[in-house]
Amino acid sequence: MSSFATVLLYVAVAGLVLYPVVYKQLRGTLLDRKSLVTLPLVLVAVGGYLTIGALPGSSAAELAFLGVDLVVLAGLGVLRSTTTTLTARGGTTFQKGSAVTLGLWVLTIAVRIGLVTLATALGVAGPLTSASIALTLGVSIAVQNATTYRRVRLAGLPLAERSPAALSR
């Protein structure tokens, strides 16, 4: 994939996935089990499918970069979770991000682009690098949400099965 196409792919992912996720976290949102699981599950499933399709012909170096990408972005997911405030509200937990949360999202995107740039500069970026964007993003969000779920449980906060808005209908 050309570098222009890669940039377009990143912009599309940012617009369709990151903007709503980051926006909700910064303005605050009521959490429920479904919202913590659905988006990361879809991203990991789609990203896993695309990644598996790009595996044939991938070099060991590409696989190593994918591994580093997954570990680093998962770590950033843990950090992003710890920067949100959790409080009980409306029969569930309300999560609100901070300026640090926004900064960590920017860092997450910068790290992903930086790793792709480094891989390209070293001559090891191939189809796997672009195909794995949904997977790496999905894993990062899944780890963030799993960490948030653990924090909710440890704090003894409520967590609705479904969105409180859906329950009131």
- Verdict on whether the full-model pTM lies above 0.85: yes
| pLDDT confidence of residue 167 | 47
Handedness of CA 22, 28, 141, 75 (dihedral sign): positive
Q: Which of 14-18, 57-61, 135-139, 147-151 has the lowest mean pLDDT?
A: 14-18
User: Who has greater pLDDT, 8 or 115?
Assistant: 115
Identify the residue whose tokens are 């991000």: 97
Query: Using 50, 70 and 90 to split pLDDT, how confident is the model at 12?
Result: confident
| pLDDT confidence of residue 7 | 66
- Residue 35 CA, distance from chain mean position: 13
**Interval 37-54 mean pLDDT:** 93
Token pair of 17 as six digits: 């996935």
* Whether pLDDT at 111 is above 60: yes
Under the phi-then-psi rule, with left for phi > 0, alpha for psi from -120 to 50, and beta for the rest, what region is 91?
A: left
Strands 85-89 and 92-96: antiparallel
**Interval 116-142 mean pLDDT:** 90
Instruction: Return the DSSP state at 162.
Output: S
* Whether pLDDT at 60 is above 50: yes
- CA–CA distance, 86 with 71 (Å, rounded to integer): 25
